[in-house]
Structure 1
Amino acid sequence: MNGIRSGMSIAGMKIGGGRRRFLFLLPVMIFLPYLLSVLELHQFSTTIDQQKKHGTKSDHLILGPAAGQGLQNRLQCQGTKSLNTTRHVASHSSKSGENVAFVTVFTIYNSSRENHENNKFSDIVTIGNSSYTKLERSMAILHSFIKFIQVTMPLSNVIILTDPASDLRVDREKVTVYPIQGEYSRDKLMLQRIRSYIAFLTARLEEYPTLAPDQRSHYIFTDSDIAVVDDLGQMFDEYSSFHLALTFRNNKDQPLNSGFIAVRGTTEGLRRAKEFLTEVLKAYTERYMKASRMLGDQLALAWVVRSNPSFDSRRFSKPVAFMEELNGASVLFLPCALYNWTPPEGAGQFHGMPLDVKVVHFKGSRKRLMLEAWNFFNASSNMDDMLCLILGSGRTKYDF
């Protein structure tokens, strides 16, 4: 019996010990899947952080449905094929742009050039069959800007206002590099842009009496990350009485975009534009220096326009061109939807692209898309199909 009891006691001890081990392991078994999920999430997060750290981005566009399908007066697309025709690409025999010059501010920083020489194989981005460093990408965007103009307005000149210290060279026909002294640091570049515009207009006014009529031009001041996709010379004929033109959008705080300013190339147009921009510069320096790196110029533009007692800001709510007399200047307001259209980021552009869009502005993170668009057009020679590519580009990490 003792033996039996001993055996039973030993067995009971074994059973009890097993139960205790089971009870001890039970919480681990229950939470193990959650622990594995946390570990997997941590590994995924680490991978994403490493991608961000190393600047990993998509190397191609991700196309989605083009917005605006079925809407009247909107570009209709099937993939990258346009289903309706717009009025793009001037014939090389046309007089398009004969008396229109494009003016932009562009500079190369010494640090960019040094980094290019020291790190030629770092931070490389490949687009199509070409690979670019940061400096090369900036120059490629500038060249795309010029090439789009030379396709749509082949007789137009391009004038690049730059820092004399930047040693900028652009060896292309009908392109002039025009050095203007100033402060071109990244923090002050938007402020310097207005100063450079004023200096350029001052020089044009001084030389105007000495120029023959065929040497005089209208001027369109733009950012260098735009694509001119239709003839803008018609604007000066269609709206024959304005001194300068601005582009607007339905935005309460920033209704005016400074990336497109047109100036009529007459003595009065040049003078009025210079006076207007001088007021903008004054507002900029007195009110918006805290936003000098970005947005200060647009805030100053809006302030100068809205400070006129007779101006009705409600006119910005509808994308229809209108004229206004401001401090003696006849100012034409053109809708951004046509003259400064910006590709969407994500699903924000529900209404698509207007059929008669004239300027596409690749602001901010869209600059790589500008190079993609030029490469596509260069291969297809079809502007409308290229616009379908832009419209369907979706929210791709194509930024630099």
Structure 2
Amino acid sequence: MGVSIRRPLLPLLLFLFPLLYSVSVLHQRWNPEETKRLSPKKPDQVILGPAAGQGLPNRLQCQGTKAMNRIEPSPKNNHSEEEKVSFVTVFAIYKSDPMSEKMLDRVRVGDILYNSKSERSLAILNAYINFIQVSMPSSDVVVLTDNDSTFSLDRNNAIKFPIEGDYSRSNLMLQRIKSYIAYLKRILESSELEKANKNIIFSDSDIAVVDNLGDIFQKHPDFHIALTFRNNKNQPLNSGFIAVRGTRDGISKSKDFLEEVLDVYMSKYMGASRMLGDQLALYWVIKLHLPSAIQKFNRHESFAGKVKGVSVLFLPCAIYNWTPPEGAGQFHGMPLDVKIVHFKGSRKRLMLEAWNFYKSTFNVSNMLCLILCSGRTKYDF
């Protein structure tokens, strides 16, 4: 006996019709542009959260933006007694589509409104110089850039140093190593080398130096080149900070070391992401010539080793290349002896906020609490 299936369809259609009608009306009324306009705008300010590392020994303790256990670095009464250091960074401003610039939200930090990426990039470079001037007033800054760069540096302690090359975004990490090597060669050829005897720190320009780094050269008198390491299986070496002793031997051997890194980069890692090639090449050279170093990357202590006659010092990233977490509440917090804060990616905005806060308080410790407690802010910087 056949079973009729027509009778149950009527109640089903009566049930579905109102639902289908509502969806149709909603689709007609929905306007994606209007929805985008009504969506909440990202706050144009620093969002504070809980301080990471609360209660942990040797970590900065904060109540809001007030440091509870940080001791201010003692100022040097005689700047001539400081280690002479030249901070060297690679910097380029990229041309952008005027139409895309108009679509970007303007960013205000303190009393300053930044309307374009180029303005913000130059502001970050100036903040980099400002932090160095506060923490190490006897030091100078050398900005390696392309021959056609048009930005100006009206600073007493900073100069542009043009070096020919390809400074495009996709080639920047490769060019950075080439520029470092070219700069070291120029110094070796200079008749002023022996007289100057100035140590060198190659660094990214999105860092804040918050303590005197001259003690690296005083506490570790035997190294030629210093690298920073972290407990990261694939990229344990960070190329954003490289220290070179300013003697002829130190500069010459550091140049030789970087030339080998460059050769490895060009032969093995040209297909790597534009931000990874140099770090992968650094690791390959160390793994090849000094495999005993690898097992020490999970510790938090400095150590040294030899790479083809070059004395290499390894410094813990947590102190010499500390990066703010993407959001407040990271468990480990900020070491009390941190010397560099590295504002990567979307955190570059925070670097300008930190300098603006320092200008109003002149308190490094409280500024570090502002950095530590700042919540995640995503800006196209």
TM-score by length of 2: 0.88
Aligned to 1:12: none
2:60, 2:334 within 8 Å by CA — same for their partners in 1?
Answer: yes
SS in 1 for 2:171: helix
Q: Given the alignment, which residue of 158, 163, 175 partners 1:175?
A: 158
SS of match in other structure, 1:181: coil
Q: Any conservation in 2 of the 1:244–1:264 contact (CA below 8 Å)?
A: yes
Which residue number corresponds to residue 247 of structure 2?
266
Choose which of 112, 118, 127 in structure 2 pairs with 1:130: 112
Deviation at 1:119, TM superposition (A): 5.9
- Gap regions ≥5 residues in structure 2: 1-9
Structure-2 residue corresponding to 1:82: 67
Larger Rg: 1
Does the residue aligned with 1:367 lie in a helix, a strand or coil? Answer: helix
* Alignment partner of 1:312 out of 293, 312, 322: 293
Q: What does residue 304 of structure 2 align with?
A: 323
Written as runs of structure 1 = structure 2, the 5 A alignment for 1:185-196 is 185-196=168-179
Which residue of 163, 177, 197 maps to 2:146?
Answer: 163
1:91 deviation in Å? 4.4
- CA RMSD of the aligned region, Å? 3.0
* Cα drift, residue 346 of structure 1: 3.0
Counterpart check, 1:257 vs 2:238: yes
Paired with 1:399 and 1:384, the residues of 2 have a C-alpha distance of: 28
Counterpart-to-counterpart distance in 2, 1:50 and 1:290: 40
SS of residue paired to 1:166? coil
Change (3 A) 1:72 1:165: same
Query: How far apart in 1 are the matches of 2:232 and 2:301?
Result: 15
More moved, 361-370 vs 390-399 = 390-399
- Which residue does the alignment assign to 1:206? 189
Q: Secondary structure at the match of 2:297?
A: helix
User: Partner residue of 1:5?
Assistant: none
Deviation per CA, 1:244-279, whole angstroms, max 9, x where unpaired? 000000000000110000000001100110000001
Amino acid at match of 2:91: F
Q: Which residue, out of 58, 63, 79, partners 1:73? A: 58
Post-superposition Cα deviations, 1:187-206, rounded to whole Å, max 9, x if no partner, equal 11110000000000011111
Q: Measure, in 2, the Cα distance between the counterparts of 1:192 and 1:96.
A: 35
Shift of 1:381: 0.6
Select which of 309, 315, 320 maps to 1:334: 315
Shift of 1:372: 0.6
String of CA shifts for 1:289-310, please: whole Å, max 9, x gaps: 0125211011001111111154
SS in 2 for 1:261: strand
Separation in 1, partners of 2:257, 2:41: 44
What is the distance in 2 between the residues matched to 1:287 and 1:97? Answer: 41
Contact (CA 8 Å) 1:89, 1:231: kept in 2 or not? no
**Aligned equivalents of 1:255 and 1:51: distance in 2?**
44
CA distance, structure 1, for counterparts of residue 287 and residue 336 of structure 2: 31
Distance in 1, matches of 2:262 and 2:209, equals 27
Q: What's the TM-score once normalised by structure 1's chain length?
A: 0.84
